[in-house]
Chains A and B, each alone.
Chain A
């Protein structure tokens, strides 16, 4: 009974997550909802799970439930991966806009005294350092030779 409640809570969380992603990634959302529903059903009717497991050629119902859970996790992982990629594209566009704007500003100030350039370069360097430190946190930037 404790296990059933525990699993139900977990699956309910998955269900909520799936519903919330429904709008952004309909395929992933629907698949996750269906899988979570199946999981919930089987948690509460283990005998049906055993029957189904035998049908599917799996030994025990509990095993089938575990497999279901694995599938759900993989779907969530895939969804997260896609989200990360989308986010990287946004970052790219932002960084590109910054780079181009900075180049245009530098070109415009070419006629000005070099002091201005140095100050601006320092500002850019500081901003770059902050952004770099943020970007490196997940450890995804390629390693730079020191």
Chain B
């Protein structure tokens, strides 16, 4: 895998991530990727820090949620001739080396979506409560989308230009992870899972989803169905 790959755009959605964003962006930029940080209305200077670290920054004037930020990133990437789009979490839980693995998978397996899975790969310091929550989320998503994924709420994904163009995220909040899978299922395009490593730190755990969010996500998804 060439270390310089400007045709790949790495989308990082960030909301008040000032303490980590610069390091995360610098790592990805150093690996030769174009980085677009969607600053989701942060008030802690996340945007300028990301820009100084070498990212293009698109700033939401108000906080809209991670799903909306990712969609903004996709729109930017598609408008800037990306051949592949990668979503990457801002909190530093992903490894930059996994980006190349996912993008390689798109080519070698001829799929439009390569989804990172922590359960195929290795996980560092995953607490049991989080593991149970993720297992429940996975079971629910399998049931509703028919996609036999092992990890539904992994923020690390790669997709081809064609794949990214088929996504239209309308769930602004956390339910977007399930929504992406729904839309992948509906697109009928080929997909696969690729093992990735997630490093749990106190910081990423504090920012991650908790039990209470699960109910919010269910309500979001349900309301969304009613609406259509």
User: Interface residues, chain A, CB within 8 Å of chain B?
Assistant: 78, 81-82, 85-86, 88-89, 91-92, 95-96, 98-100, 102-103, 107, 124, 127-128, 131-132, 135, 141-142, 144-145
The smallest C-beta distance from A134 to any residue of chain B, in angstroms, reads 8
Question: Which chain B residues lie closer than 8 Å to A81 at the CB level?
Answer: 223
- How far, in whole Å, are A95 and B61 apart by their CA atoms in the complex? 6
- How far, in whole Å, are A127 and B227 apart by their CA atoms in the complex? 31
User: Interface residues, chain B, CB within 8 Å of chain A?
Assistant: 16, 38, 41, 43-44, 56-64, 68, 71-72, 75-76, 79, 170, 172, 223-224, 226-227
CB-CB nearest in chain B for A106: B57
The smallest C-beta distance from A84 to any residue of chain B, in angstroms, reads 10
- How far, in whole Å, are A95 and B60 apart by their CA atoms in the complex? 6
CB-CB nearest in chain A for B169: A92
Q: Do A102 and B172 have beta carbons less than 8 Å apart?
A: no
Beyond known contacts A99-B59, A128-B41: 13 more, CB 8 A cutoff: A78-B226, A82-B223, A82-B226, A91-B62, A92-B64, A92-B172, A95-B62, A95-B64, A103-B76, A107-B56, A128-B62, A144-B44, A145-B44
The smallest C-beta distance from A9 to any residue of chain B, in angstroms, reads 30
Q: Do A86 and B227 have beta carbons less than 8 Å apart?
A: yes
The smallest C-beta distance from B206 to any residue of chain A, in angstroms, reads 11
Q: Do A99 and B61 have beta carbons less than 8 Å apart?
A: yes
The smallest C-beta distance from B33 to any residue of chain A, in angstroms, reads 17
Q: Do B61 and A98 have beta carbons less than 8 Å apart?
A: yes
Checking A78, A95, A100 against B75 with a beta-carbon cut-off of 8 angstroms, the contacting residue is: A100
> Chain A contact residues: over half helix, strand or loop, or mixed?
helix
Question: Which chain B residues lie closer than 8 Å to A131 at the CB level?
Answer: 61-62
24 contacts between A and B (CB under 8 A): A78-B226, A81-B223, A82-B226, A82-B227, A85-B223, A85-B224, A85-B227, A86-B227, A92-B64, A95-B60, A95-B61, A95-B68, A96-B71, A99-B58, A99-B60, A99-B61, A99-B72, A100-B79, A102-B58, A103-B58, A103-B59, A124-B61, A128-B62, A142-B63
Q: Do B170 and A96 have beta carbons less than 8 Å apart?
A: no
Checking A78, A85, A88, A127 against B61 with a beta-carbon cut-off of 8 angstroms, the contacting residue is: A127
- How far, in whole Å, are A131 and B60 apart by their CA atoms in the complex? 10
- How far, in whole Å, are A91 and B57 apart by their CA atoms in the complex? 20
- How far, in whole Å, are A126 and B227 apart by their CA atoms in the complex? 35
Q: Do A100 and B63 have beta carbons less than 8 Å apart?
A: no
- Chain B CB within 10 Å, residue with most, of A103, A127, A135: A103
Q: Do B61 and A132 have beta carbons less than 8 Å apart?
A: yes
- Given known A103-B76, A132-B41, A144-B16, contact A96–B56 (CB-CB < 8 A): no
- Chain A CB within 10 Å, residue with most, of B68, B71, B76: B68
Q: Do B79 and A89 have beta carbons less than 8 Å apart?
A: no
Question: Which chain A residues lie closer than 8 Å to B170 at the CB level?
Answer: 89
Q: Do B56 and A128 have beta carbons less than 8 Å apart?
A: no
Q: Do B68 and A96 have beta carbons less than 8 Å apart?
A: yes
Question: Which chain A residues lie closer than 8 Å to B79 at the CB level?
Answer: 100
Question: Which chain A residues lie closer than 8 Å to B38 at the CB level?
Answer: 99
- How far, in whole Å, are A86 and B170 apart by their CA atoms in the complex? 10
The smallest C-beta distance from A17 to any residue of chain B, in angstroms, reads 19
Question: Which chain B residues lie closer than 8 Å to A88 at the CB level?
Answer: 172
- How far, in whole Å, are A127 and B41 apart by their CA atoms in the complex? 12
- How far, in whole Å, are A88 and B99 apart by their CA atoms in the complex? 33
Q: Do B62 and A132 have beta carbons less than 8 Å apart?
A: yes
Question: Which chain A residues lie closer than 8 Å to B57 at the CB level?
Answer: 103
- Chain B CB within 10 Å, residue with most, of A124, A142, A145: A142
